[in-house]
Amino acid sequence: MTAEQVKEAIRNVPDFPVKGIQFKDITTALARHDCLCWMKDEIVKRFKGLGITQVVGIESRGFIIAPAVAMEIGAGFVPIRKHNKLPAETVSVTYEKEYGEDVIQIHKDALNENDVVLIHDDILATGGSMAAAIELVKKLGVKKIYVNCIIELEGLPGRRVLTEKGAEVDCLFGIEVNE
């Protein structure tokens, strides 16, 4: 399995969730055992041995591979969820998306100053949701933060936005926005 083969398994959905957005649907790659294993194994290779104690997945597609990565590297899994989805006391961040505004939350006691965190999501586009996730995790005073996405949409400012915030950004592969 190669990155190119996984890229070929990803479906484009035009005008979703709004007109003008070319949505990269990873569910077609996730449905293939070989692609799913390659994505998980590649992330594990890149982050095993870095002392990561918690893998944080961003709702909802970040929940798919993050727990498997956490198990493989000997870490726990912590979800970042949309507003009012977590049952205990939370910390929140509001951010702008390509097509609106959103609020994400994490449990206030989910992380601490001893944690080394890997934040994972499926796609890095404009960087809004990942930047918000970084801000949220920083509020809990963790020791170090790593960032990983499966796909980087090339030609969009996501990587620049995150590196300007001091994040180390790792993506398994890039896809042109109109590809």
Model confidence pLDDT, tens digit, residues 23-64: 999 999 999 999 999 999 999 999 999 999 999 999 999 999
Q: How far is CA 155 from the centre of its chain?
A: 18
- Map out the domains of the chain with their CATH numbers: 45-176 (3.40.50.2020)
Residue 105 sits at the vertex; the CA angle it makes with 90 and 165, to the nearest 5 degrees, is 120
Top pLDDT among 60 and 98 is at 60
Contact between 105 and 94 under an 8 Å Cβ cutoff? The reply is: no
Share of the chain above pLDDT 90, in %: 88
* Residues taking part in catalysis: 61, 98
The DSSP code for 164 is H
- Provide the pLDDT for residue 1: 94
